Chains A and B, each alone.
Chain A
């Protein structure tokens, strides 16, 4: 049967030494499909057969088989734009496939809407938090299945149920279920979304990059919950770009590449060294901490000096300097003020104290427009709310920053725009059929790359990145790190806020550590390593 398997089923990487469609493994994903259907011994909890989906200009999925057992955590891996989100959207009724079949516990089911999926016991947390921020936590958690009394919604009971669900995740104490969801941090919203997706009769739980905005503690909390659910026999589909998380939690891995499944295997049989080439279709150069000699590009006078910059109730006054060619990292737990520092420096939050000097000139009233003129570019953390215009095309989004800097009267010619956009698509490897595709239709990671591209086209002297690699795959991650280094070698000054310590360790020349909205320390070049940062955050050193 291995010979009849269509081409895309096997992976091409020479380093991967097993064949996913090996005939000896009953219950393996590839046993089903084609003529082998009857031989399926164990019925899977959920099974997708020959699923295809085309969007204008892209084959997002091409005859994908995917199978998850009960009580299994199944990691779905692949590059940005590989088709992961699309696959699970078809599984959960948010998107209709062009071809293929879905079976739940052996029964062929038709999932025409997300409501259908919920009714069948398929709970989902989609990529990007997708609840309604203006509604209360209770309303979000009980939407469409509010308890009723005498035909009307019984809110007291609804609140009780909402609390009970949060209780299951041990987060009920932190959350007032009456408050609007939008008043909580992204991480809390994410946990609420997971709590919402869990029903008593949930058979399948789908988590699309649930940990992208969680810190280590919250991730650990989530994994505890996932193990618990697994023990209850729920099938869990887990999408992430964090390789170590996959090995921490998943039992089995399936890899998608360019809309085809290139293999499935138990986690124990697929070490990272084989997994990554399988995902990327090529090897990955390892990213090491950059050598001190490389940092010699750092020279001269600081280009940015913040003295006592702060804002009441937002961020305690802090000092910060940035020299050309230097990368300064901002580290700290969620809510420690990373984003606030970035925004204060950029002028997206108005400071009420301190002095900010950029390129030798004092900036009296900072604003985003002013900063752009001074050659400061900023990539916000929340691309959905602040970063991108989903309806505008990739090209329009990319040239926006540059256009703002030039002023609207000096319009770029169409050809120039096109050339710029294409150069950026090429440089960052943005997966899109052409530059005219609306950004909202790109995959999550590719949207993030567009945010980066936009900041880069304005040709900044100072670049501020807030969570630059959230949702970006390992391959692109390495490319972005390489790009950052190259730009710094050319004299760009960079301020990077990130929740990923390894990323900061890899790129930073200096790290400012924040805790509870104040700057508690700065770690110099020589001293940078994971442990020092963790200790400083925890307050063991200052």
Chain B
């Protein structure tokens, strides 16, 4: 058994355990219906988190995700008002996300500024832009959106794999291929593992950094598209705080904030764990919604501690 899969397996085990706990608490919890709903509800944020995974793998951080989700929705809704087809608007916004991310990456590398600062500026910029365009929610009228969000593949047991979840799974497949089967992906791991060494080994650091943030921008724009289609609207406050949820998903998925270690697939389960916790607490009905955050926080903390000890044991063996 390859030890690099250990964090992923741990994440999956936690997911399964929480799912079983839910099943023990509530009769009809362990069903494909609940699973399908969790996937659909969290598809936008998990998709965006795939992009964040690359950024964190490279040792960086992207705070502009939530604003990107909001901005994409607002623009699509307004283009809809202007008569654009939603697919065309979505394509435009995916391109925008990619370029915006690339620009962030370029600034980070050329000016040698911490990604935290650059993407924080991106966060303000995009959120501000949302409010420049709209102050209120704008519905998307085009029938395509309603039809698209109604699509789904029936699952055994009565559940449905909704279109948003399908897009997310496709995005995951793309992410896995990029991370593990392309040179770009290997370079991301190298930069995150040891930047100086990567440079000396000949990794094109600038090109890769730009690519990483471009990918981050693309995935968060895709998350924005999923969200806009799923809710059939554009709302300037949509996705507030999503960047932190995305980071939490990545960390719960076994990716180390220090960079270089982790897997895109883990992020799916990390995001699902957060979704599960929310669902369980909502299922209860009597529990205060604040518990969602508290339980998520505790889990996150436990995970980080586990990670640290894992790294520690690796170091020990290295010294031997």
Judging by beta carbons under 8 Å apart, are A132 and B199 in contact?
no
Q: Name the contact of A339 in the complex, choosing from B186, B197, B319 (C-beta under 8 A).
A: B319
Type the 1/0 row for A386-411, where 1 means its CB is closer than 8 Å to any CB of B.
00000000000000000000000000
| A321 adjacent to chain B (CB < 8 Å) | no
Judging by beta carbons under 8 Å apart, are B187 and A132 in contact?
no
| A146 adjacent to chain B (CB < 8 Å) | yes
Judging by beta carbons under 8 Å apart, are A143 and B4 in contact?
no
B34 to chain A, nearest CB (A): 35
Judging by beta carbons under 8 Å apart, are B318 and A135 in contact?
no
Given A153-B183, A182-B315, check contact A134 B193 (CB 8 Å): yes
A335 to B317, CA, bound (A): 10
Judging by beta carbons under 8 Å apart, are B4 and A131 in contact?
no
A74 to B4, CA, bound (A): 41
Q: Using a CB-CB cutoff of 8 Å, which residues 242-291 of chain A contact chain B? A: none
Nearest CB in chain A to that of B189: its residue: A135
Q: How many residues of B contact A (CB 8 A)?
A: 34
Nearest CB in chain B to that of A189: its residue: B318
Given A115-B204, A143-B201, A178-B2, check contact A152 B193 (CB 8 Å): no
Q: A130-B197, A180-B3 are in contact. List 6 more A-B contacts (CB 8 A).
A: A115-B202, A118-B202, A130-B200, A133-B318, A143-B203, A335-B320
A281 to chain B, nearest CB (A): 31
B285 to chain A, nearest CB (A): 45
Q: Using a CB-CB cutoff of 8 Å, which residues 141-157 of chain A contact chain B? A: 143-144, 146, 152-153, 155
Nearest CB in chain B to that of A113: its residue: B202
| A94 adjacent to chain B (CB < 8 Å) | yes
Chain A contacts of B260 at CB under 8 A?
A: 132, 134-135
Chain B contacts of A139 at CB under 8 A?
A: 186, 189-190
Interface of chain B, helix or strand or loop or mixed? Answer: helix
Judging by beta carbons under 8 Å apart, are B314 and A183 in contact?
yes
Q: Using a CB-CB cutoff of 8 Å, which residues 143-197 of chain B contact chain A? A: 177, 180-183, 186-187, 189-190, 192-194, 196-197
Judging by beta carbons under 8 Å apart, are A114 and B199 in contact?
yes
Judging by beta carbons under 8 Å apart, are B315 and A144 in contact?
no
Chain A contacts of B186 at CB under 8 A?
A: 135, 139, 143-144, 146, 153
Given A113-B202, A115-B202, check contact A136 B4 (CB 8 Å): yes
Q: Name the contact of A133 in the complex, choosing from B177, B194, B320 (C-beta under 8 A).
A: B194
Judging by beta carbons under 8 Å apart, are B196 and A130 in contact?
yes
A183 to B316, CA, bound (A): 8
Q: Which of B2, B182, B259, B319 has the most CB atoms of chain A within a 10 A radius of its CB?
A: B319
Chain B contacts of A144 at CB under 8 A?
A: 183, 186-187, 201-203
Q: Name the contact of A114 in the complex, choosing from B2, B190, B192, B200 (C-beta under 8 A).
A: B200
| A353 adjacent to chain B (CB < 8 Å) | no
Q: Name the contact of A132 in the complex, choosing from B180, B198, B314, B317 (C-beta under 8 A).
A: B198
Chain A contacts of B35 at CB under 8 A?
A: none
Type the 1/0 row for B200-235, where 1 means its CB is closer than 8 Å to any CB of A.
111110000000000000000000000000000000
| A318 adjacent to chain B (CB < 8 Å) | no
5 A-B pairs closest in CB distance: A132-B193, A115-B202, A134-B260, A134-B193, A114-B202
Judging by beta carbons under 8 Å apart, are A179 and B3 in contact?
yes
Q: Which residues of B contact A (CB under 8 A)?
A: 2-4, 177, 180-183, 186-187, 189-190, 192-194, 196-204, 259-261, 314-320
B315 to chain A, nearest CB (A): 7
A185 to B187, CA, bound (A): 24
Chain B contacts of A126 at CB under 8 A?
A: 200
| A184 adjacent to chain B (CB < 8 Å) | yes
A118 to B204, CA, bound (A): 13
Q: Name the contact of A143 in the complex, choosing from B187, B315, B316 (C-beta under 8 A).
A: B187
Judging by beta carbons under 8 Å apart, are B189 and A185 in contact?
no
Judging by beta carbons under 8 Å apart, are B197 and A132 in contact?
yes
Nearest CB in chain A to that of B57: its residue: A134
Judging by beta carbons under 8 Å apart, are A130 and B201 in contact?
yes
Judging by beta carbons under 8 Å apart, are B3 and A132 in contact?
no
Type the 1/0 row for A106-127, where 1 means its CB is closer than 8 Å to any CB of B.
0000000111011000001010
Q: How many residues of A contact B (CB 8 A)?
A: 34
A527 to chain B, nearest CB (A): 30
Q: Which residues of A contact B (CB under 8 A)?
A: 93-94, 113-115, 117-118, 124, 126, 130-136, 139, 143-144, 146, 152-153, 155, 178-180, 182-185, 314, 335, 339, 382
Nearest CB in chain B to that of A185: its residue: B320
Given A133-B193, A143-B187, A144-B202, check contact A152 B314 (CB 8 Å): no
B56 to chain A, nearest CB (A): 13
Q: List 21 A-B contacts (CB under 8 A).
A: A93-B202, A94-B200, A113-B204, A117-B202, A124-B200, A130-B194, A130-B200, A130-B201, A131-B194, A131-B201, A132-B260, A133-B318, A134-B259, A139-B190, A144-B183, A153-B180, A153-B186, A182-B314, A184-B318, A314-B316, A382-B319
A144 to B320, CA, bound (A): 30
B194 to chain A, nearest CB (A): 5
Chain B contacts of A118 at CB under 8 A?
A: 202
Q: Name the contact of B189 in the complex, choosing from A94, A115, A134 (C-beta under 8 A).
A: A134
Chain B contacts of A314 at CB under 8 A?
A: 316
A460 to B203, CA, bound (A): 44
Chain A contacts of B181 at CB under 8 A?
A: 152-153, 155
Q: Which of A118, A134, A179 has the most CB atoms of chain B within a 10 A radius of its CB?
A: A134
Chain A contacts of B201 at CB under 8 A?
A: 114, 130-132, 143-144
Given A115-B202, A152-B177, A152-B182, check contact A132 B318 (CB 8 Å): no
A181 to chain B, nearest CB (A): 9
A440 to chain B, nearest CB (A): 9
A176 to B317, CA, bound (A): 14
Chain A contacts of B187 at CB under 8 A?
A: 143-144
B191 to chain A, nearest CB (A): 9
Judging by beta carbons under 8 Å apart, are A132 and B2 in contact?
no
A143 to B203, CA, bound (A): 8
A275 to chain B, nearest CB (A): 29
Nearest CB in chain B to that of A124: its residue: B200
A94 to B200, CA, bound (A): 6
B258 to chain A, nearest CB (A): 9
A370 to B317, CA, bound (A): 25
Nearest CB in chain A to that of B313: its residue: A183
Chain B contacts of A114 at CB under 8 A?
A: 199-202
Chain B contacts of A146 at CB under 8 A?
A: 183, 186
B171 to chain A, nearest CB (A): 18
A117 to B199, CA, bound (A): 13
B127 to chain A, nearest CB (A): 33
A117 to B202, CA, bound (A): 9
Q: Name the contact of A131 in the complex, choosing from B197, B199, B319 (C-beta under 8 A).
A: B197
B1 to chain A, nearest CB (A): 10
Chain A contacts of B320 at CB under 8 A?
A: 185, 335
Chain A contacts of B204 at CB under 8 A?
A: 113, 115
Chain B contacts of A152 at CB under 8 A?
A: 177, 181-182
Judging by beta carbons under 8 Å apart, are A153 and B182 in contact?
yes
Nearest CB in chain A to that of B204: its residue: A115
A530 to chain B, nearest CB (A): 26
